[in-house]
Amino acid sequence: MSEVKGLKETKEVLDFAIGAVTAVNNITADKKIDFSDLAHVMALLPIAGPALDGVKEIPAELMDLTSQEGVELVAYVAAKLSLENSHAKDIALAAMKAAVATFELIKAVKAPVVVA
């Protein structure tokens, strides 16, 4: 039996992804960008660290994902965004794909540069 990884890191990345989308929506709502929009960006700082710190654990969490955890993630997204579960499922799946892509990007950026 495999070790149960849980959802902690995945939820932290979901929090950041939802926060980032919310920030962009708030910033662009008035169709102008000004100094007052800085507050929306600043709101991301406390959730960015935890999201990035554990991003390397997300592939393992997703590979270990049970159907119960899948339902839990959909409910988590639904609660965060006050959505119906059917729409939250689409968002949760897209966010998980984005989390894996973010992990791959961070890995690529941190990879040592090899000069031939």
Q: Kindly report, residue by residue over 75-100, the tens digit of the pLDDT.
A: 888 888 888 777 888 887 887 777 67
CB atoms within 10 A of CB 96: 21
Is position 115 within any domain?
no
For the segment 18-57, what is each residue's pLDDT rounded down to a tens digit? Answer: 888 889 999 999 999 999 999 999 999 999 889 888 888 8
Q: How far apart are CA 8 and CA 13, in angstroms?
A: 9
For the chain, the distance separating the N- and C-terminal CA atoms, rounded to the nearest angstrom, is 44
At residue 3, the pLDDT reads 56
In a domain, 114, yes or no: no
Residue partners of 61: CB distance under 8 A and separation at least 6: 5, 6, 7, 8, 9, 10
> For the whole model, what pTM was predicted?
0.75
More confident residue, 52 or 115: 52
**Domains identified in the chain, total number:** 1
Give dist(CA 13, CA 95) in Å, integer.
Answer: 8
Please give the residue range of the domain that contains residue 19: 8-108
CB atoms within 10 A of CB 64: 14
The answer as to whether 20 is a domain residue is: yes
